[in-house]
Amino acid sequence: MFLLPFLFCFCSLSAHSVFTHAQKRGEWSLKEQKKFWHHFQLKKEKHLLPTKSLIDDGDQQLTAQNGSNVEKKAAPIFSPEDAYCESFNIDIHPDDYPSARRNESVVERICGQKVMDPYRWMEDPDRPETKQFVAEMNDLSRPFLEKAFFRAQFRNKMKQLFDQKAYGCITKHGDYYYYAYSEGTQKQSAIYRQRTLSGEKELFLDPNQFSSDGTAAIVQSAFTRDGQIMAYTVAEKGSDLSTIRFRDVKGNDLPEKIRNVKQSSLAWMPNNKGIFYSKYAQRKRATNETHVTKDEFHSLFYHRMGTKADKDVLIADFRELDDPTLSISGSVSRDGRFLFVYVYDKDSANTVYYLDLKAIDNKIQRKPALSLLIHDTRAFFIILDYDHESESALVLTDHTAPNRKLIRIGMSTAILGCAHWDTVIAEDPERTLDSVVPVAGDKLLVVYIEDVKTYLYVHQYATGKLIYRIPLGIGTVSQCYGDRDDAEAFFSFNSFLEPPTFYRADFSLVEKTSMLQLEQIRHSDEWRGVNLTGVTVSQEFFHSRDGTKVPIFIISRNDTKRDGSNPALLYGYGGFNIPLLPSYSSHRNIFVKHFHGVVAIANIRGGGEYGERWHECGARSHKQNVFDDFIGAAEFLIEQKYTSPRKLAIQGGSNGGLLVAACSQQRPELFGAVINQVGVMDMLRFHKFTVGSYWINEYGDPEKPEEFEYIYKYSPLHNIRLSRGTQWPATLLMTADHDDRVVPSHTLKYAAQLYHYLKKPEVKLTQRKPVIVRVETDAGHGAGKPRDKVIDELTDIMSFLQRVIQLKCPSHHFLSPQLTNCPSPFCHPQFPWPVRSFILFVIPIGHRKIGHQKIGHQAENWTPPESWTPKENWTPENWTPSS
């Protein structure tokens, strides 16, 4: 066995010697390709390397290895790149996995069940022993990923994708239009502004000045009503904790800062006197410490401008309710009359209180008395607008309406209950009311979700009557912005194949033209993207285990062969009422266009695609429905011959990490690769860290016997087992050292327990598929991640896929910078990347060979780099084929 690595190397060098001469000539004929393949095949047979099922025995005849003839057809081209890929697909033996200290004395009884937790010490991420284990796992995964074929070239291509101008949606405050913008080379997008939409842009705020490595990011912002001051929050190293800072309209920074803010809204007092914000009870915390302590007693505060933060006034904490898991936020009505206070419990329902700011002359010296406005523990209520003329509030709610409705509540009669509420837009049983934005005095911009696609409508403010639908095609409307005091609104639209297009809606001309005028502020043509000619999207439906009809989007090339040979990436989330709507992704489309891959987005239960009912069918005791749906999606792709188990990769993050972990444990033979990003893995202790207690409504309470029973059955950490003869799927586990949402111990404990299991004698005999862990430093759950870290993450994901499911190497012109006149737009050095949020998912790229009729004209003048020597430094980018 100790000679095996040398035999691998010998085969690679022998293969190289066969085609070196053709390289130097700048050509590689069909005859020479056959000669090379036959030579390499003999080496593989001799040294027991993985073999292809067929070998070439002539121009038109193929002979199986057992000697039987098969149907005559054109001989396949097995290139030197493919041989190079094969030779580097080396497995990791379970004995190579790092071992962590097990403390088997840590046992607790939960609902009558004894549960061992031998790696509980890993719940302290700053413990030296924990850091050592992290270092050992990174030391194992880093070399494995760095050996991936074309890794450096792929990273360079990703860098080119990001080196593009990128815009965010426009908002208007005071005399300026504001938007996020990046030249492409910055680590974070900056905030720019213009006086007119056709005017010159000017830099207003650059977060790249906050840190040299780009790990400080702007999370949110809020302007005063007159646009004179902007409050904004800055988070460091991906943390959910942030600091509120202030900048005036002249670009000057104000001195005050409010630290340790978390899960906060920002709402200004009238006349710019102060701001309302939220944070948890004070705690001592070292500067570089990872926050894992359970968050309790969320509170709403008022900060008066010009004073120190420690003098801020407590508005509400509701400690009298003796529930430390309540979450509190605030908003101020458009006219500055009322402060609305929202109190959320674990069940995502909320109570609404209010404070009449006019009655107290906008002065808050001590904790005020709040008045109850809406009390219903079974629904959520969001106040969109307060109309001072009718003294009523416009409210979006799911009260007795799982698909949501819009109601109007009088301030004086609200306390009397729902019998006194007026319906403005009734619930639609076939569609979900996604968002409503009051605009232009008497109009409403309304977004509906119907069969996982969004549609935009204009309704009357007073009656809710539909005026017209805005035609936009099939895709997703997002980032809607508008104001009742302004005649213009802004929103973005994108789809799987169409990059974001930003629109301005001018309501001032509606009376003259009887139709809303749309102006494309930034057209998708500005994004010089992938040529998606020949790529299509289909929405299909499959039946889950219990017969439920589940939608799935499939993105593929028109010439994709349904023979089960295609690499495929299946993504899912399935939780928290969050829908996976169509969205554009350059690297996802590259995977399809240039690597002949198939991308599938499964709209499984637990999400918000079909309203609260769809969500409820995948929550708490129904969580197994989510896993069944996702497994059903994989089976559908295989049955329809889009792919096969060994070529199918699944990916999910956060709640989606729980999804792919549970599915890969329940059906390990179904998947070729698993990419698990910041997953929730310890389902018996998730509620004991940071904001985990807010997930009880989604997963259930593991401390209640009836809920413990179903949680324990699927908890990834507690269900690590295999049937005899089955391998654990090749798995990439990813987390970050400063993730204070899904704390890193979820992944660390899972990895340690999994490694311990795979080292068992009866398991390691058959386990050859690698399980590696990537722990990112100075990063959090995903939001605000700088450009370079995103590129590194995508490169590592692609590298993992290339190695474990043996993705075909891409076409030569995909990688070589010398092929400047290649007709493919992907070769263009200015290939674009639309900057998008990465909080929910990133879809990786894999390798796939793409054939071309003839590119020999590019090779005629090819000369090796001066530093190149045939045996020592040969890499495939120095090889140029002729066909």
CATH code of the domain containing 305: 2.130.10.120
Instruction: Examine the pLDDT at 854 and tell me if it is beyond 50.
Output: no
Q: Which of 843, 842, 792, 797 is nearest to 158 (CA)?
A: 792
Same domain? For 657 and 775 the reply is yes
Q: Which of 668, 677, 877 is nearest to 779 (CA)?
A: 677
Domain limits for position 639: 94-159+543-575+589-599+616-827
Provide mean pLDDT across the span 90-114: 93
Same domain? For 768 and 642 the reply is yes
More confident residue, 533 or 39: 533
Task: Express each pLDDT in 705-753 by its tens digit.
Answer: 999 999 999 999 999 999 888 999 999 999 998 888 999 999 999 999 9
Final residue in a domain of this structure, among 427, 454, 472: 427
- pTM greater than the 0.75 cutoff: yes
Whether residue 516 is contained in a domain is answered as no
Residue 534: pLDDT band with limits 50, 70, 90: very high
Task: Express each pLDDT in 473-520 by its tens digit.
Answer: 889 999 999 999 999 999 999 999 998 899 999 998 776 556 677 888
Q: What was the pLDDT predicted at 524?
A: 53
More confident residue, 152 or 98: 98
How far CA 567 is from CA of 88, 226, 358, 534, 669, in Å, comes to 19, 54, 63, 18, 16
Task: Express each pLDDT in 835-848 by its tens digit.
Answer: 233 333 332 333 33
Helices then strands, each counted (H, E), the chain: 16, 41
Whether residue 875 is contained in a domain is answered as no
Q: Which of 594, 443, 419, 436 is nearest to 509 (CA)?
A: 443
Same domain? For 769 and 719 the reply is yes
Final residue in a domain of this structure, among 78, 109, 140: 78
Q: What was the pLDDT predicted at 238?
A: 83
Q: How far is 726 from 721, CA to CA, in rounded Å?
A: 10
Same domain? For 774 and 687 the reply is yes
Provide mean pLDDT across the span 132-149: 95
Contact call for residues 102 and 119 (beta carbons, < 8 A): yes
Same domain? For 236 and 360 the reply is no
Task: Express each pLDDT in 745-760 by its tens digit.
Answer: 999 999 999 999 999 9
Query: What is the count of structural domains for the chain?
Result: 4
Provide mean pLDDT across the span 244-249: 98
Instruction: Examine the pLDDT at 216 and tell me if it is beyond 50.
Output: yes
Provide mean pLDDT across the span 761-787: 88
Q: What was the pLDDT predicted at 868?
A: 38
Whether residue 857 is contained in a domain is answered as no
Instruction: Examine the pLDDT at 31 and tell me if it is beyond 50.
Output: no
Same domain? For 204 and 68 the reply is no
Contacts of 576-580 spanning 24+ positions with Cβ under 8 A: 576/606, 576/607, 576/615, 576/655, 576/698, 577/348, 577/607, 577/608, 577/612, 577/615, 578/607, 578/608, 578/840, 579/432, 579/449, 579/452, 579/603, 579/607, 579/608, 579/609, 580/452, 580/607, 580/609, 580/840
Residue 816: pLDDT band with limits 50, 70, 90: very low
R_g of the chain, CA atoms, integer Å: 29
Q: What was the pLDDT predicted at 86?
A: 42
Instruction: Examine the pLDDT at 237 and tell me if it is beyond 80.
Output: yes
Whether residue 144 is contained in a domain is answered as yes
Same domain? For 33 and 154 the reply is no
How far CA 880 is from CA of 25, 70, 93, 108, in Å, comes to 10, 31, 35, 63
| Mean pLDDT rounded to a whole number for the chain | 82
Q: What was the pLDDT predicted at 514?
A: 60
Residue 814: pLDDT band with limits 50, 70, 90: low
CATH number of 668's domain:
3.40.50.1820
Task: Express each pLDDT in 323-336 by its tens digit.
Answer: 898 999 999 999 99
Q: What was the pLDDT predicted at 556?
A: 98
Instruction: Examine the pLDDT at 687 and tell me if it is beyond 80.
Output: yes
User: How many CB atoms within 10 Å of residue 370?
Assistant: 19
Residues annotated as catalytic are 654, 739, 781
Task: Express each pLDDT in 281-300 by its tens digit.
Answer: 865 554 456 677 888 899 99
Would you state the structure tokens that stand for residue 105, as one six-digit string?
């004395």
Provide mean pLDDT across the span 570-590: 93
Q: How far is 732 from 804, CA to CA, in rounded Å?
A: 10
Q: What was the pLDDT predicted at 850?
A: 28
More confident residue, 511 or 386: 386
Provide mean pLDDT across the span 844-865: 33
Whether residue 455 is contained in a domain is answered as no
Instruction: Examine the pLDDT at 646 and tell me if it is beyond 90.
Output: yes
Same domain? For 205 and 335 the reply is no
Same domain? For 127 and 178 the reply is no
Same domain? For 112 and 54 the reply is no
Q: What was the pLDDT predicted at 512?
A: 54
Same domain? For 653 and 752 the reply is yes
Q: How far is 397 from 297, CA to CA, in rounded Å?
A: 25
Q: How far is 19 from 828, CA to CA, in rounded Å?
A: 29
Provide mean pLDDT across the span 571-576: 98
Whether residue 486 is contained in a domain is answered as no
Final residue in a domain of this structure, among 388, 408, 427: 427
Residue 35: pLDDT band with limits 50, 70, 90: very low
Instruction: Examine the pLDDT at 584 and tell me if it is beyond 80.
Output: yes
Q: What was the pLDDT predicted at 862?
A: 38
Contact call for residues 552 and 452 (beta carbons, < 8 A): no
Residue 37: pLDDT band with limits 50, 70, 90: very low
Instruction: Examine the pLDDT at 79 and tell me if it is beyond 50.
Output: no
More confident residue, 817 or 369: 369
More confident residue, 376 or 800: 800
Q: What percent of the chain has pLDDT over 70?
A: 78
Highest averaged pLDDT of the listed ranges 10-24, 143-157, 301-315, 529-543: 301-315
What is the DSSP code string of 653-706?
A: ETHHHHHHHHHHHH-GGG-SEEEEES----TTTGGGSTTGGGGHHHH--TTSHH
Q: What was the pLDDT predicted at 883?
A: 29
- Identify the burial level of 134 via C-beta atoms within 10 angstroms of its C-beta, where 0-12 means exposed, 13-18 middle and 19 or more buried: buried
Same domain? For 151 and 173 the reply is no
Residue 19: pLDDT band with limits 50, 70, 90: very low
Whether residue 103 is contained in a domain is answered as yes
Whether residue 777 is contained in a domain is answered as yes
